[in-house]
Amino acid sequence: MKKLESAEQFNEMRVSGKHIFMFSADWCPDCRVIEPVLPEIEAKYNDYNFIYVDRDQFIDLCIELDIFGIPSFIGFKDGQELGRFVSKERKTQEEIENFIETLEK
């Protein structure tokens, strides 16, 4: 999973193509639980670019997007938000995949 490097990069990515931004942090235990399944999810939904957003590094972006719990996911396609799976709850592989399945329905 690519890591977001700047707020400018986020703005460029969200307006062009299909992206799922995963908001996370190194210290987050619920984020570490899903880490082993993320490569499988990325491979299954390879029409999306998956981008890791470090909550601590991009706290202003999180505030702007109302991301107050991690791990959280937001899907974008060509500038339009397709959906969000935002909460402070632990997430399972099945829940993440179900979220992705709903993005373009």
> Annotated active-site positions, please?
28, 31
Query: How far apart are the C-alpha atoms of 26 and 95, rounded to whole Å?
Result: 21
Classify burial at 3, counting beta carbons within 10 Å of its beta carbon; exposed 0-12, middle 13-18, buried 19 or more: exposed
End-to-end, the C-alpha distance of the chain in Å comes to 25
Q: Report residue 69 as tokens.
A: 């719990």
Residue 49, amino acid: N
How many other C-beta atoms are found inside a 10 Å radius of the C-beta of residue 8?
8
